[in-house]
Amino acid sequence: MKNIYLVALIAVLLSSCGSSYTYEKPPVDKIIVEKSNLTNYSIILADMDYDEGNDLYKHKYRLIYQPLSNPDTLLTESTDWYKVSPEYFQEHVNDLGMALATIKNGVADKKVSPAGYANYIGNEKYGRWERREGGGFWHFYGQYMFMRSVFHMMSPVYSSHYLDYRTHRAYGRTYYGSAGNGRTMYGTNSSYGKSTSWGTKSSTFKQRVRSKVKKSSERMKMRRYMSRNSSRRGTSTRRSYGGGFGK
């Protein structure tokens, strides 16, 4: 009987939070499935926006990939706008210009990183570490020098920055780097982030969206948690009923 009351209570709470939670695969996961014919590419968060009239959170991506026919070059492909959940928007609100996924030799890595860091910086096929006055830095070979501009990398990428990136990565944190004056080298608060359509929005609009998406994300997390526990409670109740007959 106690289980029945718990299920009923969760149902009431779910209805007060809206309809039951339905998981929707993030666009990045969909793109990885669609581009299964490619083995080396990055999915960059190129821009983001919020449609107040329709209450829609949106992402636009840029794919940077090595075509199988000529793996020594890079091609770019921009996507249309994708609708994203408040949770996903909140998760990546600081990641403009960053790689949300890097696919290397067919293996996907979804740890957020500065574009190009996960598969080209430190890869001796494309360049080498050099040392001059002021410290070490990454030098792309001549034929790969274009990669620096394609990935909007800070020039140059110092070994100390790369070491910080590796340390952040090891501890499960995202590396943005510091450009001074409260700015970051990478991400939404970088010079690249400021050049996007999101970056040109007023600070009042962006603050309003950040506040709204945080609340929406928290509600969705609660719905997901309650929906999951409601399902477990229902399974437990059915099992208890099944075990009671015939005694």
> Which tens digit of pLDDT belongs to each residue from 128-148?
999 887 689 999 999 999 999
Q: Is the pTM of this model over 0.85?
A: no
Q: What is the pLDDT of residues 70-129, one digit of tens each?
A: 988 999 999 999 999 999 999 999 999 999 999 999 999 999 999 999 999 999 999 999
Domain hosting residue 145, numbered range = 2-242
Q: How many Cβ atoms from other residues are within 10 Å of residue 240's Cβ?
A: 13
**Residue 94, domain member (yes or no):** yes
The helix/strand/coil state of 222 is helix
**pLDDT for position 230:** 61
- Whether 247 is in a domain gets the answer no
Number of folded domains that form the chain = 1
Beta carbons of 203 and 121 less than 8 angstroms apart? no
Kindly state whether residue 132 falls inside one of the protein's structural domains. yes
Scan for tokens 């821009």, then name that residue.
Answer: 47
Residues in Cβ contact with 29 at an 8 Å cutoff, skipping those fewer than 6 apart: none
- Is 192 a member of any domain? yes
Residue 138 falls inside a structural domain: yes
